[in-house]
């Protein structure tokens, strides 16, 4: 895949701009960073001009939710069965795939909200509050964010908002999980997705989302966990934040009060730390391996394994250092993973996106890292998504599909990019899995939806059976 490419046209300078009171970013107008802490530390006068100029060129119909006078709901049997959606970018075609917007997720028609939690990597708090309907904006809201190497989200104007910084136990780790708890008067919804809480991620980019059924309060003391042990695994994940995360303890206790039996997906999580002994297969790629190995159906070697992500980390000098051995071995389950294909946008895909070259800011893969692993080109495929190809892919997904692209043996929607930090790597003679970041995803297995099924049918990338 072509990794080179030209540079975007330079924007004109504003001769009347003020003198910066912070050091200038060395990358100038070409800065691709998105972390708010970076912009707190360095001045970006050219970037500010670019952003202002670019913003007027985006048609209003490409801002999802902007100016909506009513909610357009997707009626789709696939959405009802699987709870799986793409975020809808206005003006693009999705060819019948289930789509949704953040305002639809938070809309009062779903019930009377009384409290919520947002787990994420990046927050634009003012924007997030605006996405809640007016009656819900003063309700208790907890923001769980990454504490290491960045500023906490500024919620000083909102006395109803509390913050919890996740304990990042290793350098280069992050709190990358993207999840919501939405507590209603009559139940609880859990939402796991791939978008930062910033407007561009929801208005201009391809994102994936899973929404649980509304879980009612349990009416008896019998086992009310799902067959997939979703509640148990979610509590184990939340306990991974450590004893200092006292604000999550109330939520852990609350989860035990709800009936989870309608949930049919498995949780696949990563927790910052080293995990060994009984916890060796609790998180990261070994968690996925354990779930796939437990299946009765093992796809034949001719089936493809496909990974798709928005960031690439340092994977080693050769593919067998991690990718085709440790990681691919987990994707394979009990057998071979077959041909491995990795989907990541090339420069042309970025240039043709709704954001143009600015979309590269959500697709980090540094030249320094790429130069150390040129072998990765052999696995890379371009991003193509039909009518919504121009919405840059911030979604992360992994699957096993038949050679004719008609069947899927399993599908994982997750926050985890292609990196050891996200998935973990084995250390200490393979007795521990070291994970730097917090991640969260949901695994779909066909037999969880229909007991006799070994695979799901696909139509335009959507489950249909």
22 a known binding residue? no
* Interatomic CA distance for residues 124 and 28, integer angstroms: 23
CB of 180 within 8 A of CB of 190?
Answer: yes
452 is catalytic: no
| Token reading at 138 | 């003063």
Apex CA 181: angle with CA 180 and CA 187, to 5°? 140
176 is catalytic: yes
396 a known binding residue? yes
Pairing relation of β-strands 432-435 and 340-343?
unpaired
Look-up of token digits 């966990």: 225
Handedness of CA 29, 308, 207, 356 (dihedral sign): positive
* Interatomic CA distance for residues 119 and 113, integer angstroms: 17
Runs of H (alpha helix) within 180-327? 199-203, 230-239, 246-255, 284-293
CB of 380 within 8 A of CB of 306?
Answer: no
Instruction: Look at residues 294, 286, 284, 296 and name the one whose alpha carbon lies nearest to residue 330.
Output: 286
Which of 175, 275, 285, 394 does the annotation list as catalytic?
Answer: 394
Instruction: Look at residues 176, 161, 69 and name the one whose alpha carbon lies nearest to residue 121.
Output: 176
SS3 category, 440: strand
| Token reading at 321 | 């250092």
* Interatomic CA distance for residues 2 and 382, integer angstroms: 9
Instruction: Look at residues 320, 326, 344 and name the one whose alpha carbon lies nearest to residue 288.
Output: 326
Handedness of CA 199, 201, 206, 211 (dihedral sign): negative
Handedness of CA 98, 101, 102, 103 (dihedral sign): negative
Neighbour tally for 402: CB within 10 Å: 17
Local structure of residue 457 (DSSP, 8 states)? E
Which of 167, 175, 176, 388 does the annotation list as catalytic?
Answer: 176
Which residues sit in the known binding site for substrate?
Answer: 178, 396
List the catalytic residues.
176, 394
Which residues sit in the known binding site?
Answer: 178, 396
């Amino acid at each position: 895949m072509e990794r080179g490419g030209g540079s975007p046209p330079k924007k004109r300078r504003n001769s009347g701009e003020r003198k910066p009171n912070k050091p200038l970013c060395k990358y100038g107008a070409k800065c691709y960073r998105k972390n708010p802490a970076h912009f707190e530390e360095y001045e970006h006068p050219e970037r500010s001009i670019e952003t202002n100029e670019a913003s007027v060129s985006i048609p209003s119909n490409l801002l999802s939710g902007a100016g909506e006078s009513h909610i357009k709901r997707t009626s789709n049997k696939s959405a009802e069965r699987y709870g799986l959606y793409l975020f809808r970018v206005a003006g693009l075609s999705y060819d019948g795939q289930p789509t949704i917007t953040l305002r639809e997720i938070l809309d009062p028609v779903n019930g009377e909200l009384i409290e919520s939690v947002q787990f994420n990597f990046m927050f634009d708090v003012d924007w997030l509050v605006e996405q809640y309907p007016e009656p819900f904006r003063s309700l208790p809201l907890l923001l769980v964010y990454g504490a290491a190497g960045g500023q906490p989200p500024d919620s000083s104007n909102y006395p109803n908002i509390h913050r919890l910084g996740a304990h990042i136990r290793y350098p280069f780790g992050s709190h990358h999980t993207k999840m919501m708890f939405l507590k209603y008067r009559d139940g609880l919804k859990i939402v796991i997705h791939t978008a930062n809480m910033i407007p561009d991620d929801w208005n201009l980019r391809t994102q994936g989302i899973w929404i649980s059924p509304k879980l009612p309060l349990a009416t008896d003391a019998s086992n009310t966990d799902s067959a997939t042990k979703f509640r148990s695994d979610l509590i184990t994940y939340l306990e991974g934040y450590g004893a200092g995360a006292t604000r999550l303890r109330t939520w852990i206790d609350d989860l035990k009060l709800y009936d989870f039996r309608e949930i049919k997906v498995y949780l696949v999580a990563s927790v910052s730390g080293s995990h060994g002994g009984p916890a060796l297969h609790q998180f990261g790629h070994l968690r996925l391996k354990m779930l796939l190995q437990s299946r009765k159906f093992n796809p034949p070697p001719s089936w493809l394994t496909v990974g798709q992500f928005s960031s690439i980390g340092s994977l080693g000098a050769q593919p067998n250092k991690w990718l085709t051995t440790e990681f691919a071995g987990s994707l394979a389950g009990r057998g071979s993973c077959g041909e491995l294909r990795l989907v990541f946008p090339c420069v042309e895909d970025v240039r043709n996106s709704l954001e143009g070259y600015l979309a590269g800011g959500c697709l980090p893969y540094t030249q320094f890292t790429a130069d150390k692993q040129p072998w990765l080109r052999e696995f890379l495929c371009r991003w193509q998504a039909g009518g919504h190809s121009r919405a840059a892919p911030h979604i992360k997904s992994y699957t096993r599909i038949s050679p004719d692209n008609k069947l899927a043996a399993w599908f994982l929607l997750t926050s985890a990019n292609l990196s050891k930090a996200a998935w973990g790597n084995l250390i200490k003679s393979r007795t521990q899995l070291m994970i730097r970041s917090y991640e969260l995803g949901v695994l779909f297995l066909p037999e969880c939806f229909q007991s006799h099924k070994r695979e799901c049918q696909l139509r335009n990338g959507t489950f249909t059976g």
